[in-house]
Amino acid sequence: MNLRLEALLEILQLNTRLFRNCLDGISDEIARQRPNSDTNSVAFLACHLVDARDYLARLVGIETETQLHNASQNYLAVVEQKGEPPLDQILEGWKTVSDILEERFPQLTDEELKAKSQEAFPIEDPTLFGALVFLLHHESYHIGQLAMARKFFGAGAMRYGHRALLARE
């Protein structure tokens, strides 16, 4: 695996952990609350991230979807949000698609990465590699929103470390 792809895999794995850490200790009740009428709920953001990972999987040739596919697309506007699945179901969807992607990334060839992306993204690099860079940035952006929401609802700061490692510190 080339160094650029190794770096993307590292970000994918980091985002996998941070997503879980953002939701740790958040109840379904809190996850459905919105900080204000113009802000998405934690549950909506989490569904959107699972849906985005499903999209990323399809972009790299994996024809699979979690049961949450398009769960965040069921609303036309933030004010119409309702009916997000429970967090344990969202986390299971995240794990499913994340495991698949962590297996697929090392298999991507240089030819695949250099091929023109099926979709255009707001980035100069029009290749699949550029698409992966943008989509992982997109994940990081929304994970930051989840981290801010945690603090807003009194759940404390998101932690970067593994829970088991933090317990030993």
**Mind listing the pLDDT tens digit for each residue in 83-93?**
678 999 999 99
The number of folded domains in the chain is: 1
d(CA 55, CA 134) in angstroms, rounded, equals 13
Q: Domain residues for 97?
A: 3-168
State the DSSP string of the chain. Answer: --HHHHHHHHHHHHHHHHHHHHHTT--HHHHH--SSTTS--HHHHHHHHHHHHHHHHHHTT-----TTTTGGGS-SSGGG---PPPHHHHHHHHHHHHHHHHHHGGG--HHHHHSBPSS--SSS--BHHHHHHHHHHHHHHHHHHHHHHHHHTT-----SS-HHHHHH-
Mean pLDDT of the chain: 87
For 10-23, what is each residue's pLDDT tens digit? 999 999 999 999 99
pLDDT-derived band of residue 73, with 50, 70 and 90 as boundaries? low
* CATH number for position 56: 1.20.120.450
